[in-house]
Amino acid sequence: MSASAVSPFEFDFASLPFEEKLDRFAQVAVRVGLNLREGQELVISATTEMMPLVRRITEHAYKAGALLVTTFYSDDEAVLARYKYAQDASFDHAAQWMADGIAAAFGSGAARLALAGSNPALLAGQDPAKVSRANIAGSKANKPAMELITRHAINWSILAAATPAWAKLVFPDLPEAEGVAKLWDAIFTASRATEEDPVATWKAHSRHLHERVAYLNEKRYYALRFHSNDGATDLTVGLADDHLWAGGGGEAGNGIFCNANIPTEECFTTPHKDRVDGRVKASKPLSHQGTLIENISCVFEGGKIVSATATSGEDVLNRLISTDEGARRLGEVALVPHSSPIAQSGILFWNTLFDENAASHIALGQAYATCLIDGEHMDGDALAAKGANASLIHVDWMIGSGEMNVDGVAKDGTSEPLMRAGEWV
């Protein structure tokens, strides 16, 4: 047998029929992402194009003992119909009754699963003012539910499904069917669904990230300084008082260990909302609510964005950071090595779930209470006193690359190398 031949006893994910690959991926969602427990409800959000995966996930959720699985579907054509034909008042309105119901479900212990993969450019040709107003209305309506998510009160997870519109953006030169198939393969690989035992593989991956997290928590840096070789970025991000680093899977407030993001390669924590200064340029485009924002460049002073530009989608960017007072401040900073499997795939996914795991990143808006010591038990005033930001939004954008260096800065101003050329020192 040649060295390149596959042993008859060796697991070969690539040779499996697509339906079997999708089934294994659905098991990863239920067993790894959510770790769904018997008797627990599950709330899923997805687009209509994702039904085949949703049906598989639903099947495995019930096999795991789910009490009830409820899916909320959106449809791209219906979304566009609103922007084309709805009365103006529509864009300041959200289905509060539905948001209240979802918050009540989470409050009673239901798990949450969101499927990403809708058309990243769906709203690119629509009025940015209407897009901004609709996003604000939706964020306000969903705030109670999102507070339970940011406090990690329940087990929740986000993973992706390939769709034709998304695949066309990622692989513009391929026929539709070929592009979709290639995107599915990239999703399966990045999500570690290609392994013979994905559950064991994810446990090992979490252990590795937890070791890095433990190192960062032991160092107790006062700030991080990001500085790129080309000089486009020189940003000092102060870290919140009593901040905690996190990464990999973790235990939710209901005692269930879950993996909130599939895939994930990041170690992240809470910045201090008032201690961010300098200039920063995005290293990848940001796909936000159907609009592509490219080449973001911002200047921070005293924690707040004082200027923001982009070569595409600048109007949407400026409306985004005007959502509320906290939208101009940071709620997350994350470190990801340039050698991460997603970065090394060479694929620009145009999807934050993937692209944020290819590069170190920052997030505008709401901070995670769980990234502060005892933060999940603090009220808003106590969190703010520690430096945690509050906002209706939480939007990640990528700043890391093979050209990015990161220093850990102590409170006395001394610093030490933490990353060089995008890699851990």
pLDDT in tens, 18-27: 999 999 999 9
First to last CA, the chain: 41
Percent of the chain, pLDDT > 90?
91
13-190: CATH topology is Thermophilic metalloprotease-like (3.40.1830)
Reply yes or no on whether the pLDDT at 225 is more than 70. Answer: yes
Averaged pLDDT, 296-304 = 98
Contact indicator for 362, 334 with CB cutoff of 8 Å: yes
Residue 153: pLDDT band (50, 70, 90) is very high
Tokens of 344: 């090394």
Domain limits, the chain: 13-190, 220-246+266-424
In the block, tokens 């190398």 appear at 417
- Cβ–Cβ < 8 Å for 156, 198: no
Q: What is the pLDDT of residues 88-119, one digit of tens each?
A: 999 999 999 999 999 999 999 999 999 999 99
Contacts of 22 (CB under 8 A, 6+ apart): 52, 53, 56
With 0-12 / 13-18 / 19 or more C-beta atoms within 10 angstroms meaning exposed / middle / buried, residue 2 is exposed
Rounded-to-integer distance, Cα 297 and Cα 173, Å? 29
Tokens of 41: 């409800």
**Phi and psi (nearest 5°) for 83?**
-70, -25
Say which residues have a Cβ less than 8 Å from residue 201's Cβ, sequence separation at least 6.
192, 195
Statement: residue 289 has pLDDT above 80: no
Give the pLDDT band of residue 2 (cuts 50, 70, 90): very low
The whole-angstrom separation of Cα 369 and Cα 150 is: 6
pLDDT band at 120 (very low <50, low <70, confident <90, very high): confident
Q: How far is CA 310 from each of CA 280, 293, 335, rounded to the nearest angstrom? A: 12, 7, 23
β strands within 302-410, DSSP E:
304-309, 330-335, 361-365, 394-398, 404-409
pLDDT at 9: 56
**Any residues with CB less than 8 A from the CB of 419 and at least 6 apart, and which?**
335, 337, 360, 404, 405, 406, 425
Q: Per-residue pLDDT for 382 more than 70?
A: yes
175 pLDDT tier (thresholds 50, 70, 90): very high
